[in-house]
Amino acid sequence: MIPDTTASWTPAERAAFARRRQSRNLAIGLVLGALVVLFFGISMVKMGPGIARNQARAAAAADAGKPMAPAQP
């Protein structure tokens, strides 16, 4: 919440406010970065084995000169 009384602030209050805002923005940035890493990691663990299996099947089909069979559920 940004108060509507900013005009009455002293330079020291402005500096303190800017410092707080900067530290909070930095924290939000770090949290967002951590969420990116988290979602990437979850995706890799959950889908990685399936992707690797499909790639191996595609490579095997290419070697045999046949079109790739549809993936089994």
**Site of interaction with other proteins (CB under 8 A):** 1-3, 5-6, 8-9, 13, 16-17, 20-21, 23-24, 26-27, 38, 41-42, 44-46
Q: Could you tell me the two tokens for 21?
A: 């805002």
Residue with tokens 């299996």: 53
Whose Cβ is closer to other proteins: residue 24's or residue 53's?
Answer: 24
* CB-CB contact of 57 with 69 (8 Å): yes
State which amino acid sits at residue 53: R
Residue 61 C-beta: closest distance to other proteins, Å: 29
Whose Cβ is closer to other proteins: residue 18's or residue 60's?
Answer: 18
Residue 71 C-beta: closest distance to other proteins, Å: 22
Distance of alpha carbon 14 from alpha carbon 3, whole angstroms: 12
